[in-house]
Structure 1
Amino acid sequence: MAVSPAQLASYTADHGHTIPYDTSPRHLAGPGDPRHVTHALLAAGWRVTSAEGDPRITLTAPTGEHQLRLDPFGSRYWRVDTDDGPWQASFSQTVPAEIIAGFTDRLTGRQQPAGPGPWQRMVEAGWRVDRTPDGTGIAFSPGRRPIRVEHARIRKADPGPSFWRIEVPAAYGGPPVWDIWISQAPEHLVDGLAEQLVTTAPVVRGRWEPAHSAARQTPSRLSPKHVVEAHFTRLDTVHAQTPAQSRTPRMTASPPPPAPNTAPTSPSLHRR
C-alpha cells in the first residue's frame, strides 16, 4: 500500500503554513507528527488493517508478521507486535516520532549497513554507561533532563529473556516524561532506536506544539516548503530501499494539488 494522494495533500496542508523551529534536545521536543512513522511504513508496503472509522489504527506488514497499533485510549499509545518471535515494543504518547521511527524503520527490510550496536552508540556519544558482564546495564545521556536506558533480565537468575526500559524521568518526581518498553526484540531494532536516541541534531516543531515546554526552540533555516519536501524525500527513500518482495509495486499518478501557498509535492513519489 502506498501513501495516497489524499494523505500527501493532508500532510502538505498541515505543514505548509507552519513556521518551523529547530527544537532541542530532541528527546524533550514532544511527539511531533506521527505520520513520520506511519507514512514511512505505508511507503514500505504496509497496509491499514483496522476497521474503517476505528480511532485505534493498525498497520500490518506485507508479510503479516509485524503490526503497529496506535491506540489513543490505551496506556501505551504505540505498540509493535510480531508473529516471528516472542518480542514486542511499546511507546508512550509523547515519545518523539523521530525516535520511534529509528525502531520501526528497521522493520521495513530497508537496505541499511550494520550498526555498532546500542551500547557502542551510547559510549561513542559520551553517555555514562555502566555495563555488567552478562551484557545488561544502565546508561544516562549527557546534559540536562537525561535519557535513562536500562537493559535487564526478565528473571535475574535466568540468562535468557531480557527487556529494555528507556525513559526520561520527570524533573521533580512523578511519572516520566515518556517511556519505552521493549521485550526481547532483535538487537538491530534496538540499534536503530539507539541511533536516534544519541543523535544531537534538533528536530523541527511548530512554535507552540504540545509537550515541548522543556526544550529550546530557535527559528529554523528551513522553510515550510523544505519541511514538506523533506518528508516526501524520506518516503521516496524508504520505498526505494525496501526490497521489492516486501512492498507493493511502485505506481505512478499525478501529484496531489498543494494547499494554497504551500509546498508542491515531490513529483517522484510513489502513489496509488
Structure 2
Amino acid sequence: MKRRPSRNSRRPGEQAQQHYLVRPRTLAGGGDVRHVSEFLRACGWRDKSRKGGPLFMESPDRTIRVAFDPYGPPGGWMIHGSAKGHQDEWWARFGLYTPVEIVAGLTDALTQPPSAHAPNVWAPLWEQNWDRPSSTEHVTATSPEGSSWMQYHQVPGGDANWWAGANDGQGNGWTAQFSSSTPMRLVEAFSAALASPEPVMRPLGRVPHSTRIRTTSVSVLPSQLAAWQQARLVAARAATWAQMTARTSRPPAATSHPHTGAAGGARARR
C-alpha cells in the first residue's frame, strides 16, 4: 500500500489521487462501509437493504444480521445473532465513527469457522504492548498512546460485558459494546483489529482533524484501489468455496448397527 505505483500500472488517462495512511487506526474515522458489506456479500450473505435506506446484511442461514444506520439516533453498527444450538442470542454495537477496518475484524470472523484454540481477548492487546492501569475498577487495557481502550465490565449480580472505544479528547471518538453472550472468538477478532498497529487509508477530505493522529500522504491510482478491494473479495470467495467443499466432502458419520456385538459396541464408544 505504501509503494508508489509503477508507470506500467497506470491506465491511460488515469490520475493519481491523494490519500493518507492514518495512525492510530482507532481515530481514523468511519471509512467506507463497503469494506464490510462487499466482503460479506462475497461470502454469500444476502443484501436485504432497501434502496436509499440503511445497510442490512443477513447470513446464509439467516441467524445473523449486520446493519449500519447512519441516520437514526444514535447511528452506527448493530450486529445480532439468533440463538442456535448451544449459542444464546447475542449482539454487538459499534458507534457511527468506528473505523470499518475494526468492525470488519468481527464481521469477517462471522464468515469463518471457529478456531481450535481457546479465545483470549487480551492476547492481541498484550502483544501490542497495551497497558493495564491499576487504578481502574474493571479489568482494562489501554493503547500505548492512551486514546483507545478495551474493558471487561462486570457488575456484582449482573451480566459481564465487554466495552471498548477510542477518544482523542477533541470530539473524535466512538464506543463498542458486546452482550455477555457474544461468542468470545468474535470479541477476540475485534480486539485483534483494534490493537493492530497497521495504519488505515483515508482519502483526502476524510481524515478527522485531531492532534492525536499521524498521517502519511500517498498517491494512489484508482486502479490500485480497485485491485486491492478485488483481492479482498477474491480471498473471501475462495475461503467460502473451500469451506463449502470441505463440508460436502466429509464422510458420513458412522452409524451403529442393530446386530453389533458387545465387542463392536465397545469399539464404537471409544
**TM-score (ref. length: structure 1):** 0.73
- Aligned-residue offset at 1:201: 1.1
Number of the residue aligned with 1:198: 195
Larger Rg: 2
Q: Distance in 1 between matches of 2:201 and 2:130?
A: 24
Give the counterpart of 1:239 among 224, 237, 240: 237
Query: 1:54/1:224 Cα in 2 relative to 1: closer, same or farther (>3 Å)?
Result: closer
Runs of 4+ in structure 1 deviating by more than 6 angstroms, as ranges, are none
Query: 1:36/1:220 Cα in 2 relative to 1: closer, same or farther (>3 Å)?
Result: same
1:16-165 superposed matches below 5 A: 18-50=17-49, 52-74=50-72, 75-84=74-83, 85-109=88-112, 114=117, 117-129=120-132, 137-143=139-145, 145-153=146-154, 155-158=155-158, 161-165=159-163
Query: 1:76/1:115 Cα in 2 relative to 1: closer, same or farther (>3 Å)?
Result: farther
- Aligned-residue offset at 1:169: 2.9
- Aligned-residue offset at 1:245: 7.8
Give RMSD over aligned pairs. 2.7
Partners of 1:26 and 1:202 within 8 A in 2? yes
Of 19-28 and 218-227, the range deviating more from structure 2: 218-227
- Aligned-residue offset at 1:54: 4.9
- Aligned-residue offset at 1:60: 0.4
Partners of 2:20 and 2:215 within 8 A in 1? yes
Q: Distance in 1 between matches of 2:116 and 2:217?
A: 33
Please state whether the residue corresponding to 1:152 is helix, strand or coil.
strand
Structure 1: segments with no counterpart, 5+ residues: 1-15, 247-272
- Aligned-residue offset at 1:170: 4.5
Structure 2: segments with no counterpart, 5+ residues: 1-14, 247-270
Please state whether the residue corresponding to 1:237 is helix, strand or coil.
helix
Please state whether the residue corresponding to 1:42 is helix, strand or coil.
helix
Partners of 1:19 and 1:224 within 8 A in 2? no
Note the alpha carbon deviations across 1:82-125, whole angstroms, 9 max, x for none.
11222100111110000000010011125867586221111111
Number of the residue aligned with 2:173: 177
- Aligned-residue offset at 1:130: 5.3
